[in-house]
Amino acid sequence: MTVFIVGIAIAALALMIGIEIAVIRNRRKPPRRLQHRHDRRQPLLEDRLLDVLVEPRAQYGEVFTSFTIWKREQETRMELIAGDPWLQLNDFTRALVVRHVWRALEKLAKGSIVIIDRPAQEWSEEINKAFDDHGIDPWAEGAPTASSLAPSQFIRDR
């Protein structure tokens, strides 16, 4: 009987030592941290898109006060901050300008493209497909001139 009690005491002692060792090992390991991928700003794309904004700026004035382009995983986001001339344009004209910028960014960046401007108007591939402008980009190479369009199309809003 004494041997049995000593055996139980040794087993209990071994179990306590094992638990203590496990606790000490867990204290040594730094806690796991979740790594968040942050957006990466794309200044090279921003520089290349300055040329895209030249024609809308010449036609409608300083429509965008600033813009930034960010990349996260497979998505490129462009945020446009609009000025007062932007608010004077109708929705169709604003959509034409945003679509023009979206198409240019789509040619330069891989993955999905989302453009958000302030005041809010979001442009994505789904919206692009549904937009009924007959595929016309007034600032693209080879775009039709004002004389080749119907008189009521693309009238300057200001």
Q: What is the pLDDT of residue 17?
A: 93
Distance of alpha carbon 68 from alpha carbon 62, whole angstroms: 16
Q: What is the pLDDT of residue 19?
A: 92
Residue in this structure with the two tokens 């996260």, named with its chain if needed: 72
Q: Number of helices (H) and strands (E) in the chain: give both, helices first.
A: 6, 5
Is there a contact between 50 and 42 (Cβ–Cβ < 8 Å)? no
Domain with 143, as residue range(s), is: 40-148
Query: Whole-prediction pTM value?
Result: 0.55
Q: Is residue 15 part of a domain?
A: no
How many domains are contained in the chain? 1
CATH number for the domain spanning 73: value is: 3.30.300
Spans in the chain with pLDDT lower than 50: 146-158
